[in-house]
Structure 1
């Protein structure tokens, strides 16, 4: 479907959270849910972020979208006692007003249900902000997404009580997977009491490989696809 059609159908109130679980592969139980934005179009068509985020950026609606998906997710998860996380990007962490609002909302909270997911690149670009989050919100779950290398900065970040890191799909699905590299991540996470999550688990073979290598958490369509309800 073309960009023009997405632009015609885009309305903020049509953006809703879909929930995809991160699973404990040993117990087959949900650890927490990642809240993913979806746009409900006409004729029951569902647009992915890759199809509508360009519009959001062009209209400078990034902060509004983050507020919206946060509030929608919070309402759904709060009454169900669900652990949940939203994705934050560079534009979010560079927005002082948004960061202050999130900190104000959670700095006095004793709940560990809410969390944020940031990519390894966003961590690198906004490391002082991540430290600020951890200092002000000790119960906030912080997850580093799309991890491809055990960089010095990542190793330093893990000392801040990062709850989990998520391996990028290229590491998980590469047929010539470097097992020693994955073993390094397994050891690094065990040393820091950090959960290691394999993303993009799309078949049984990948699941078996990850568990055999000592990866205890996973996410992907083979385990569960994103859903509007849980």
Structure 2
């Protein structure tokens, strides 16, 4: 969202209000369609965040699948599941993952390492990527525990056939460390800030 003064309003400021006023599902569907419109025919991939609430909303899931087909976009979409929100109904979430992967989407477990992260999620959910939370990564170059946790997650994910993504990479020192630890991908302001337009490739 863009404020009157042109500044970007992040979801932090309006998601809870949308849920309280029962506008959340409509907002999710708008986000899905606008993202796919912006993706267009570009030869890049985009990520869309899904909560357990989104997955439980059958109309939202049906809308998502229809739009993937309409825009021929499934092979260029990564669905990020927010691990910190508590994935409890494995059957329901696993079915959603299987269905969208059959369409061609890839799946990431987002923000792993926040709160009481559950390794059982990684074993039950057939995800492609594990995104290591920024609260761990941002201190990795000067905190031994953060380094050990990251090393463990990289090894565990690799054994499950998942690739890893380091969030909140904000300096060359952090980037060098995650590369040394074998993390597959990085994201963060050191590599680039969010832009209003998508690149062509």
TM bucket (normalised to shorter chain) is: 0.7 to 0.9
1:216 deviates by 2.0
Number of the residue aligned with 2:23: 61
- Say if 2:136 is the partner of 1:171: yes
Q: Could you tell me whether the CA contact under 8 Å between 2:123 and 2:160 is conserved in 1?
A: no
Measured on the aligned residues, the alpha-carbon RMSD in Å equals: 2.3
Q: Could you tell me whether the CA contact under 8 Å between 2:164 and 2:183 is conserved in 1?
A: yes
Structure 1: runs of 5+ lacking an equivalent? 1-38
Number of the residue aligned with 2:98: 135
Within 2, Cα distance between the matches of 1:130 and 1:171?
26
Q: Could you tell me whether the CA contact under 8 Å between 2:52 and 2:87 is conserved in 1?
A: no
Larger strand share, 1 or 2? 1
Aligned length: 189
Q: Secondary structure at the match of 1:68?
A: helix
Number of the residue aligned with 1:26: none
Query: Which TM-score applies when normalising by structure 2?
Result: 0.83
Q: Secondary structure at the match of 2:195?
A: coil
More contact order relative to length (CA 8 Å, sep ≥ 6): 1
- Say if 2:34 is the partner of 1:72: yes
- Say if 2:162 is the partner of 1:211: no
Within 2, Cα distance between the matches of 1:156 and 1:177?
29
Structure 2: runs of 5+ lacking an equivalent? none
Number of the residue aligned with 1:91: 53
Query: Which TM-score applies when normalising by structure 1?
Result: 0.74
Q: Could you tell me whether the CA contact under 8 Å between 1:62 and 1:92 is conserved in 2?
A: no
